[in-house]
Amino acid sequence: MDATAVCAARALAANSARERLILPLLFGAFQAGMSSLGWLGGDWATRNIASWDHWVAFGLLALIGAKMIFDAVRGGAEPQKPGSTLLYLGLAIATSIDAAAAGITLPLLAVPIWLALALIGGITFACALLGFSVGRALGERVGPRLGLVGGLVLIGIGIDVLIRAP
């Protein structure tokens, strides 16, 4: 769900056809990849990732959200340029780092690991694509200042990650 919300927020800030495909692909790949790392890492991932993953996710989401708010306030009616590779990777990491800890439970499922990872990646891709499309449609109706809302949503997701952290 966080990947869906982040895609919707990015669509509000920068209505880029390039991002419509890149972000869902990255988010799907990172969700599946981080889940596989959790599956492979087992106990090590639980001990070492769970203690700080929420802080990394919060920091990345808060920084990107603050930049979106700044750009929306400063930019006015100018459409935003598509993001950089670094932005895309930061968003993908921020939305999927908790998947590494969740991946530890994958051996408990009664399905082959390849199927579980394919479903995680595929569903994340589909939801993120839907989120981007909804955000884009909303941005076209309401206008570029809705980037403020997108930035606030990202910061809110980051705060929620902190609140729900163990």
State yes or no: pLDDT of 48 exceeds 70. Answer: no
C-alpha neighbours within 13 Å on the C-beta side of residue 23? 33
Residue spans per domain, the chain: 2-164
The residue-averaged pLDDT of 34-59 equals 76
Structural element, H or E, at residue 38: helix 17-41
Q: Are 60 and 94 in contact (CB under 8 A)?
A: yes
Does this model's pTM top 0.85? no
pLDDT tens readout for residues 2-22: 788 888 877 776 667 788 889
pLDDT tens readout for residues 91-135: 888 888 778 777 877 877 788 989 999 999 999 999 999 988 888
Q: Are 30 and 119 in contact (CB under 8 A)?
A: no
Structural element, H or E, at residue 16: none
Alpha-carbon distance of 106 to 36, in angstroms, equals 8
Q: Are 20 and 133 in contact (CB under 8 A)?
A: yes
Percent of the chain with pLDDT over 90: 16
pLDDT value, residue 77: 47
Alpha-carbon distance of 17 to 28, in angstroms, equals 18
| Averaged confidence pLDDT in the chain | 80
